[in-house]
């Protein structure tokens, strides 16, 4: 990966959901730089500049993390916990975007400091609308502290 700034980190292991999310953002004219990782371990390597990401500029943190919960290697709740435990990543907005409808996942996510928890709509048009609104709000309307 090059040192370009990443606006959105998409942490998703399902290739269909990755494609749908990217399509939804593009269709809503959100053309920000998006980086996709396929498991929790890669997400943490990316965020903390380790492993294959050791040479990237760690000052260029994403402006938004879209995080699935059911991930291989390290699950989304563990990823969220590590994001919130580190002062360098603590203030990055994290939106859980998952198919889980388990109340315990909702509660655990909020207890760990998630900014928003959204169940992925099954309907394609609703999914496109939800993801587009997410991108619009978190990247254009929301005001974040400067690093």
Best CA proximity match to 117, nearest among 101, 106, 131: 106
Residue 90 lies in a domain: yes
| pLDDT value, residue 133 | 87
Q: How many domains does the chain divide into?
A: 1
Packing angle of the helix pair 15-27, 124-136 (nearest 10 deg) = 60
| Domain encompassing residue 98 | 8-141
Residue 26 lies in a domain: yes
- Half-sphere exposure for 22 (CA within 13 Å, toward CB): 15
| pLDDT of 5 strictly over 80 | no
Residue 107 lies in a domain: yes
CATH number at residue 60: 3.40.50.2300
Residue 147 lies in a domain: no
Interval 35-67: pLDDT, tens: 999 999 999 999 999 999 999 888 888 999 999
Residue 94 lies in a domain: yes
Helix/strand/coil for 79 = helix
Interval 82-137: pLDDT, tens: 999 999 999 999 999 998 889 999 999 999 999 999 998 888 888 888 888 888 88
Integer Cα distance of 112 and 126 in angstroms: 27
More confident residue, 32 or 101: 101
Residue 146 lies in a domain: no
Q: Are 86 and 77 in contact (CB under 8 A)?
A: no
Residue 2 lies in a domain: no
């Amino acid at each position: 990966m090059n040192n370009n700034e990443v606006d959105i980190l998409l942490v998703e292991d399902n290739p269909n959901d990755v494609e749908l999310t990217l399509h939804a953002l593009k269709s809503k004219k959100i053309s920000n730089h998006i980086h996709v990782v396929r498991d929790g371990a890669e997400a943490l390597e990316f965020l903390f500049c380790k492993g294959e990401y050791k040479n990237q500029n760690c000052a260029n943190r994403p402006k938004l993390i879209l995080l699935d919960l059911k991930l291989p290697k390290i699950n989304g709740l563990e990823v969220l916990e590590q994001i919130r435990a580190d002062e360098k990543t603590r203030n990055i907005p994290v939106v859980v975007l998952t198919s889980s409808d388990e109340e315990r996942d909702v509660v655990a996510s909020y207890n760990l400091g998630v900014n928003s928890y959204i169940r992925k709509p099954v309907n394609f048009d609703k999914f496109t609308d939800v993801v587009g609104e997410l991108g619009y709000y978190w990247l254009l309307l929301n005001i974040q502290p400067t690093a």
